[in-house]
Structure 1
């Protein structure tokens, strides 16, 4: 008995640790929407544990103090107990949870804040396009937001259904073909939040992550101003050769770099690609080695994505990497 209890306690502790300490956890809230979700979860968990303990105690009591074979039970003698425990108390609990859920649902649907930053997010197989109408630019797979300000996310999909999930900041919302869904988030804590597509959307669904970068207002304003600028053409050297490679190879057919002739719309905008932390929607870190491998043959890292292998010479590849590293 003691061993079984110890095992159960260990499993419960492990499960809660996995939920609370992971980088993507609804039980480690840092946003107003996520706090409501976590509070509702803990409420339901607490109610469930009360009933688990109660039922377990009743089962043990019945097993220990069971009636003998000669005891005669009168029909209807337990009717009051059944009505109270099986009807009255569950009804009170369910109605109470329903009321709390409605309150949270209303709060999550309307932030009641007129000063909102609008960010448009479009899901692709398998990456995220992020557009800032206020700044007039597009980026990918990273959503920068200011702390203390409400962010209004307009969510749409360019192909199949996806699901936008930021468990540490707000609730999950689907991206449904043919419509625009709205979601808001607000946090007072600066930091990096790794997030995920939560709706199966094809072969690389598991590698369709993104990051929310929450920054103090002054730092966010500086980032916003930097993103508004077009790419600066390198003066010469290997990077200048890389710009020529980018514009003459197939890269410019799929990708855009503001300030150049590249105006592709199939893949992510690369105007400030060197400033991003990861490549391929969180699949690999944005380092020189991984960048070269991705350009050469991205199918070895993320099979099924729409970028074909690039038939570049070693000199062309090094020049292209040198150029892309200047795009900050």
Structure 2
């Protein structure tokens, strides 16, 4: 059995053929963002190998059984004539038991081999090859992902964001998972398997991307009406870009200049109408029921990857979130046109 730090690197001929057909590099993840047939990190690599092995074996079993069934159905045998009421002797064809023994032995051997392989894969993905430098604490909520970046050496360099994670290329990252409500499941298929978020329990996993790119994740456990719209993105950045992003996230929001009347009005209206649920560091808005919006405009999407982060979609989300994600906890505030414009103008400054 392999140790936790070891990685399985080999692939069978069937896997090489499958990867050759799929082709491409990490950019292919954008075309099939939720595909689990390829992996772009060491954790997913061993599980993808196991998946292709099981798939090949399953196809082989179906083909062999189909051939045997057709052979038995089409084979013609001559039977001796008998008269009505005559008792026929029960006979056993010679060699029949041998095939049964052979089948039992072959099946048992294969199942034992698959069990050993599966346990070896589980051992290989239990821990990364090296100790992660930092941890991301993710809290699942209906229906979005809260992410807090933890620095074990300097707690003052910790911050909170939502729905979009950034990790450095080629480095493992520890992920701590908890939930505030129901069971969720953290799943970024291109980088690894699912890990559940259980109420009252903290589960731990890890991610590593060996190629720069954007990898889509999804809640893998039905968690309510908007389960399908509880997605996330993982951005794998080069180490220098990741360090710059982290340093940028530590900065508080800037106070609107005196001359920007609409933006200053929007900041005050945001504090009064939205600050009970959302936080913007450096201001009096300190709510924790919704995502931290300190660097909202540094994100490419809103509403847990439901909408792109554009001016039009941001306006629609603020105006009527229940139309986009019914039963979500963000209420329709019945904002007037000037209020909506002012709040949107302020949010557009949160970079």
State whether TM-score is above 0.5.
yes
Match of 1:7 in 2: none
How many angstroms does 1:188 deviate by?
1.0
Q: Which moved more, 1:42-51 or 1:144-153?
A: 42-51
Deviations 1:263-319 (A, max 9, x none): 001000000011111111111111111111111111011000111112322112111
5 Å-filtered alignment, 1:163-312, equals: 163-235=185-257, 236-237=259-260, 238-248=262-272, 250-312=273-335
1:78 to 85, 92, 96: 96
- Is the contact between residue 125 and residue 201 of structure 1 (CA under 8 Å) also seen in structure 2? yes
1:100 to 99, 117, 125: 117
How many angstroms does 1:66 deviate by?
2.9
Match of 2:143 in 1: 126
* Aligned equivalents of 1:101, 1:181: Cα separation in 2: 21
- Is the contact between residue 36 and residue 190 of structure 2 (CA under 8 Å) also seen in structure 1? yes
* Aligned equivalents of 2:98, 2:47: Cα separation in 1: 36
Match of 1:114 in 2: 131
Match of 1:61 in 2: 71
Deviations 1:201-259 (A, max 9, x none): 111111101111111101100100000100111213222221121112x2001000000
How many angstroms does 1:76 deviate by?
5.8
- Is the contact between residue 134 and residue 150 of structure 2 (CA under 8 Å) also seen in structure 1? no
5 Å-filtered alignment, 1:26-45, equals: 26-45=36-55
2:171 to 140, 145, 149: 149
How many angstroms does 1:63 deviate by?
3.0
* Aligned equivalents of 2:159, 2:33: Cα separation in 1: 29
Match of 1:23 in 2: 33
* Aligned equivalents of 2:214, 2:109: Cα separation in 1: 41
* Aligned equivalents of 2:186, 2:135: Cα separation in 1: 16
Aligned length: 310
Deviations 1:147-184 (A, max 9, x none): 11001000000111110011100110000001100001
Deviations 1:41-89 (A, max 9, x none): 110111112222222222233233332223995256300001102x101
Match of 1:8 in 2: none
- Structure (1/2) with the larger helix percentage: 1
TM-score by length of 1: 0.90
How many angstroms does 1:25 deviate by?
1.2
Match of 1:326 in 2: 349
Q: 4+ residue runs of structure 1 moved beyond 4 angstroms?
A: none
* Aligned equivalents of 1:76, 1:179: Cα separation in 2: 60
Stretches of structure 2 lacking an aligned partner (at least 5 in a row): 1-17, 23-28, 82-89, 152-156
* Aligned equivalents of 2:238, 2:57: Cα separation in 1: 38
